[in-house]
């Protein structure tokens, strides 16, 4: 398109209106889209033109479409800085376009001017917009040409929308060049702030919107939705369930076999323990009988020996009694071992699940117990030996007594014989002394007075 087709209005610089910025006016609600920079020209866009441009851009994404932006160029009295407030947009009806360019035609420009004058006489043309279907946000050389020739006012902006990529951006004059601003503001009456927020989310490609004072930010909501909509992990199919059932069945069979084996073994151990218990009882009876019999025999032996008990015999008897007591103690120990084993078996029965180590322990204890049972006959042999020793001792005592009796007899006989010699000697000596006395007395009286009358006495005594 050549410059001849253009209709340039008279070049004049409009005086901006002094107006409070809407984001500092409590009557309005403003939401930032993208990130407006501190040095950018503040651009405020009403929902109506924003929505109209989006719809227009999406109406045909195979070609470039465009139109003009209407509103007010303002100066904020508080800061003295200018801003732009876009309140309307007009679509260009007659245009020459290809997929990669948009050009106002003479007709389209005339029609736009007419419409603006008819519908919005109070509004200024504050810029223009056009679409870049799927090739991003920038100003081509052709776009710059249009802007320089039709929108050269300092506050006039260019708005580019990519309806396929869902991106958009404003461009402003800065030092004679067109540069993109960091962001812009959506602006509406306070009562429309919920719809405004929703629109802002849509324009920033965020799913959902802040509804009814929800505490979540749109981005957080988007993250949550993404997380919640992740595909669930696959549930096990029929094949998996069959495999699981087979596995569980196998494990169950194994467990049953184990428990049955354990029960059989325990019953066998129990039976063997019962047999051993009976054998022990019989052994105890035998030992008791043997012990009492042995005691009676020893008592009899003592009786026979009587009061002349030699110390040697007593000592041997005490030894024998100690051996007997030891035998009884061993018997008691065996019984307690048997009882302990019985308790152990009960424990094992109750804990059939964890057999392993306890099984080995029971086997060991059983082996010890069997060894003890084998030792019992040896005990009996020992008692027999002790009894034979007692009998031998008794024989020795008898022999000793016999020997003692012989010596005593000899001594007594010797003493008797001695006494007999002494007695006879004494008697003989006494008799001799008496005869000598009598003879002495006879001769004494005969010498004194031997009258014949009295001689008869002497003659009588004379032999």
Least distance from Zn ion to the Cβ atom of residue 170, Å: 14
When the beta carbons of 65 and 376 are compared against Zn ion, the nearer one is 65
Give the C-alpha separation, 351 to 373, whole Å: 28
Of 43-51, 141-149, 328-336, 450-458, the segment contacting Zn ion by CB under 5 A is 141-149
When the beta carbons of 69 and 345 are compared against Zn ion, the nearer one is 69
Of 17-25, 133-141, 279-287, 422-430, the segment contacting Zn ion by CB under 5 A is 133-141
Give the C-alpha separation, 255 to 257, whole Å: 5
Least distance from Zn ion to the Cβ atom of residue 15, Å: 30
Least distance from Zn ion to the Cβ atom of residue 142, Å: 7
Residue 433 buriedness (CB in 10 A; 0-12 / 13-18 / 19+): exposed
Report CA-CA distances (Å) from 423 to 132, 410, 414, 417. 175, 20, 14, 10
Tally DSSP H helices, then E strands, for the chain: 9, 12
Q: CA-CA-CA-CA torsion for 109, 114, 120, 126, nearest 10 degrees?
A: 20
When the beta carbons of 137 and 206 are compared against Zn ion, the nearer one is 137
Least distance from Zn ion to the Cβ atom of residue 162, Å: 10
When the beta carbons of 64 and 221 are compared against Zn ion, the nearer one is 64
CA 45 to chain centroid: 62
* One character per residue 298-337, x = contact with Zn ion (rule: CB under 5 A): ----------------------------------------
Least distance from Zn ion to the Cβ atom of residue 136, Å: 10
Of 17-25, 84-92, 132-140, 400-408, the segment contacting Zn ion by CB under 5 A is 132-140
When the beta carbons of 32 and 164 are compared against Zn ion, the nearer one is 164
Least distance from Zn ion to the Cβ atom of residue 42, Å: 24
When the beta carbons of 103 and 276 are compared against Zn ion, the nearer one is 103
Of 138-146, 256-264, 293-301, 434-442, the segment contacting Zn ion by CB under 5 A is 138-146
Q: What is the DSSP letter of 399?
A: H
143 binds Zn ion (CB under 5 A): yes
When the beta carbons of 105 and 209 are compared against Zn ion, the nearer one is 105
Q: What is residue 268's three-state secondary structure? A: helix
Least distance from Zn ion to the Cβ atom of residue 143, Å: 4
Which 369-428 positions form the footprint of Zn ion (CB under 5 A)? none
Of 1-9, 134-142, 151-159, 326-334, the segment contacting Zn ion by CB under 5 A is 134-142
Closest residue (Cβ) to Zn ion? 143
Residue in the block written with tokens 């409009």: 14
When the beta carbons of 91 and 143 are compared against Zn ion, the nearer one is 143
Q: Name the pairing type of β-strands 28-34 and 95-98.
A: unpaired
Least distance from Zn ion to the Cβ atom of residue 208, Å: 31
40 binds Zn ion (CB under 5 A): no
Residue in the block written with tokens 């004049």: 12
Least distance from Zn ion to the Cβ atom of residue 158, Å: 9
Of 316, 301, 323, residue with least CA distance to 384: 323
Of 137-145, 252-260, 317-325, 451-459, the segment contacting Zn ion by CB under 5 A is 137-145
For the record, the structure tokens of 450 come out as 């031997």
Give the C-alpha separation, 173 to 302, whole Å: 143
Residue 321 buriedness (CB in 10 A; 0-12 / 13-18 / 19+): middle
- Are 29 and 86 a contacting pair, CB within 8 Å? no
Report CA-CA distances (Å) from 85 to 32, 75, 171, 360. 14, 10, 14, 94
Instruction: Give the CA angle between residues 172, 100, 47 to the nearest 5°.
Output: 50
Give the C-alpha separation, 296 to 299, whole Å: 5
When the beta carbons of 22 and 66 are compared against Zn ion, the nearer one is 66
When the beta carbons of 116 and 130 are compared against Zn ion, the nearer one is 130
Helices (H), 9-140: 47-59, 106-119
Least distance from Zn ion to the Cβ atom of residue 224, Å: 37
Least distance from Zn ion to the Cβ atom of residue 64, Å: 6
162 binds Zn ion (CB under 5 A): no
| Number of chain residues interacting with Zn ion (CB under 5 A) | 2
Chain residues binding Zn ion by CB under 5 A are: 140, 143
């Amino acid at each position: 398109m050549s410059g001849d087709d253009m209709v340039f209005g008279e070049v004049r610089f409009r005086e901006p209106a002094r107006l409070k910025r809407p984001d500092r006016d409590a009557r309005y609600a403003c939401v930032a889209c993208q990130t407006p920079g501190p040095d950018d020209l503040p651009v405020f866009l009403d929902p109506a033109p924003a929505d109209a441009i989006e719809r227009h851009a999406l109406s045909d994404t195979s070609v470039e479409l465009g139109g003009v932006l209407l509103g007010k160029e303002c100066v904020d009295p508080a800061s003295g800085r200018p801003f732009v407030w876009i309140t309307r947009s007009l679509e260009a009806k007659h245009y020459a376009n290809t997929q990669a360019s948009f050009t106002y035609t003479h007709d389209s420009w005339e029609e736009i001017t007419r419409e603006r004058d008819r519908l919005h006489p109070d509004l200024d043309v504050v810029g223009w917009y056009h679409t870049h279907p799927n090739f991003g946000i920038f100003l081509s050389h052709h776009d710059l040409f249009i802007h320089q020739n039709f929108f050269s006012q300092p506050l006039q902006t260019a708005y580019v929308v990519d309806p396929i990529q869902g991106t958009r951006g404003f461009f402003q004059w800065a030092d004679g060049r067109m540069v993109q601003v960091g962001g812009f503001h959506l602006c509406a009456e306070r009562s429309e702030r919920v719809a405004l927020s929703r629109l802002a989310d849509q324009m920033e490609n965020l799913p959902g919107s802040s509804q009814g004072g929800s505490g979540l930010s749109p981005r957080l909501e988007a993250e949550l939705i993404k997380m919640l909509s992740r595909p669930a992990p696959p549930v096990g199919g029929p094949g998996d369930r069959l495999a699981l059932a087979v596995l569980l069945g196998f494990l169950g069979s194994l467990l049953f076999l184990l428990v049955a084996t354990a029960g059989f073994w325990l019953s066998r151990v129990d039976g063997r323990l019962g047999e051993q218990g009976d054998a022990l009882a019989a052994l105890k009876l035998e030992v008791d009988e043997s012990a009492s019999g042995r005691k009676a025999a020893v008592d009899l032996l003592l009786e026979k020996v009587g009061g002349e008990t030699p110390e040697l015999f007593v000592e041997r008897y005490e030894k024998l009694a100690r051996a007997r007591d030891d035998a009884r103690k061993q018997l008691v120990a065996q019984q307690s071992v048997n009882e302990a084993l019985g308790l152990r078996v009960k424990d094992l029965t109750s804990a059939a699940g964890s057999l392993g180590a306890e099984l080995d322990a029971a086997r060991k204890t059983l082996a010890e117990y069997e060894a003890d049972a084998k030792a019992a006959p040896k005990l009996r042999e020992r008692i027999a030996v002790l009894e034979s020793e007692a009998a031998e001792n008794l024989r020795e005592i008898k022999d000793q007594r016999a020997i003692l009796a012989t010596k005593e007899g000899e001594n007594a006989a010797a003493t008797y014989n001695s006494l007999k010699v002494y007695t006879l000697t004494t008697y003989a000596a006494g008799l001799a002394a008496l005869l000598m006395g009598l003879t002495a007395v006879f001769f004494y009286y005969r010498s004194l007075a031997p009258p014949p009358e009295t001689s008869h006495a002497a003659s009588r005594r004379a032999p």
